[in-house]
């Protein structure tokens, strides 16, 4: 068991956490990044990345995260393979306990634990991820230009993704297991008014059908939730849009969360409800959820942390200056 101390402790090693580490290290805060259960974040499960600035050719998600980590380490970040299981945010330095038994103490804490897409949980799903099955139309829709695609879900996310995909496809099908949508009324109106979107009601996906070889996804096997009738829908892209789960369970009762479990931050900043604790990336972002926005908020968190420490040091210096002078100790020896 060991104790690790730092001016900036970062939880999570995706684009948000590593961007915070790069900025924190360059500011001399010698950050420690606790990588968590998925080092590199969601991009390590993504193949082609075409929308990250600076690369005119398609790059691979795992490669991008390796480069980010190498850059963070190059400027002075320490990477630790551990998972946090206990936290004490009642006083500074904040004290966290790892699954390894190690203790991590940080004068500031940056939370970049991310969010995970919810999946259907059917057997063929894992095998088809990256082969026609995705949980992010904004990320991957471009690869399905001119192809027939389907979106699974009935909330705001599903409707927004279906509408977005019409920028690339002339044939978009929304599949919902009920006969009414949960999405906001204005989104529903846009959906139903769009000529390139078809809605299939009361349908569940039972299987993502693999065409074999390099074909990838070729169809969805559906079942009617009312009649049990089965049918096959030919598609080349299937987008699961049933929501995300932010990794915030560890912080319940310690930090303020919104109704969906996302970390609440002060608008325009990365500041949470506890001074000195900052949140960035998908753990606090339910709207955009992109690698580039995560990296941007990671930068914000590091800058906010740096300013927090500078202000704390200033207040400490002022308090020291205002202390009454100590009385001179009697220099005479007492025998």
Active site residues: 136, 139-140
Kindly write down the DSSP assignment for every residue of 241-282, as one continuous string.
Answer: -S-EEES-GGGBTTB-B-TTSPBP--TTS-B-SSTTEEE-GG
Separation of alpha carbons 8 and 305, rounded Å = 8
Q: Characterize 223-257 residue by residue with b for buried, 16 or more Cβ atoms within 10 angstroms of its Cβ, and e for exposed.
A: beeeeeeeeebebbbbbbbbbbebbbebbeebbeb
Separation of alpha carbons 169 and 200, rounded Å = 17
In 3-state terms, what secondary structure has residue 283?
helix
In 3-state terms, what secondary structure has residue 149?
strand
Separation of alpha carbons 93 and 19, rounded Å = 22
Which pair of tokens denotes residue 231? 């049918």
Separation of alpha carbons 93 and 303, rounded Å = 18
From the list 142, 133, 122, 12, the residue with the least C-alpha distance to 77 is 12
CB neighbours of residue 268 within 10 Å: 7
Q: Characterize 172-182 residue by residue with b for buried, 16 or more Cβ atoms within 10 angstroms of its Cβ, and e for exposed.
A: bbbbbbeeebe
From the list 72, 73, 81, 43, the residue with the least C-alpha distance to 60 is 43
Which pair of tokens denotes residue 79? 């990477």
Which pair of tokens denotes residue 196? 């390139």
Separation of alpha carbons 7 and 257, rounded Å = 25
28 beta partners: none
Kindly write down the DSSP assignment for every residue of 42-53, as one continuous string.
Answer: GGGG--EE--ST
């Amino acid at each position: 068991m060991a104790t690790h101390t730092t001016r900036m402790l970062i939880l999570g090693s995706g684009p948000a956490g590593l961007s915070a580490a790069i900025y924190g290290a360059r500011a001399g805060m010698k950050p420690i990044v606790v990588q968590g259960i998925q080092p590199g974040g969601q991009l390590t499960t993504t193949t082609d990345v075409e929308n990250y600035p600076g690369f005119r050719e398609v790059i691979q998600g795992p490669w991008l995260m390796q480069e980010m980590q190498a850059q963070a380490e190059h400027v002075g970040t320490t990477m630790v393979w551990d998972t946090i299981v206990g936290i004490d945010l009642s006083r500074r330095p904040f004290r966290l306990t790892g699954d390894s038994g190690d203790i991590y103490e940080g004068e500031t804490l940056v939370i970049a634990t991310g969010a995970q897409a919810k999946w259907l949980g059917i057997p063929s799903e894992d095998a088809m991820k990256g082969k026609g099955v995705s949980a992010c139309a904004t990320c991957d829709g471009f690869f399905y230009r001119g192809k027939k695609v389907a979106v699974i879900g009935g909330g705001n996310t599903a409707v927004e993704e279906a509408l977005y995909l019409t920028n690339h496809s002339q044939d978009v099908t929304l599949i919902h297991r009920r006969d009414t949508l949960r999405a906001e009324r204005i989104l529903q109106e846009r959906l139903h008014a769009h000529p390139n979107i078809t809605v299939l009601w009361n349908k569940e996906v039972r299987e993502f059908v693999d065409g074999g070889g390099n074909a990838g996804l070729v169809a969805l096997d559906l079942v009617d939730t009312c009649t049990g009738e089965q049918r096959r829908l030919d598609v080349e892209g299937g987008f699961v849009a049933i929501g995300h789960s932010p990794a915030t369970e560890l912080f319940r009762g310690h930090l303020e969360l919104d109704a969906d479990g996302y970390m609440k931050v002060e608008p325009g900043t990365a500041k949470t409800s506890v001074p000195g604790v900052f949140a960035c990336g998908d753990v606090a972002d339910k709207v955009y959820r992109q690698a580039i926005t995560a990296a941007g908020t990671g930068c914000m968190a590091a800058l906010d942390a740096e300013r927090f420490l500078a202000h704390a040091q200033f207040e400490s210096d002022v308090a020291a200056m205002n202390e009454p002078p100590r009385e001179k100790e009697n220099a005479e020896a007492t025998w």
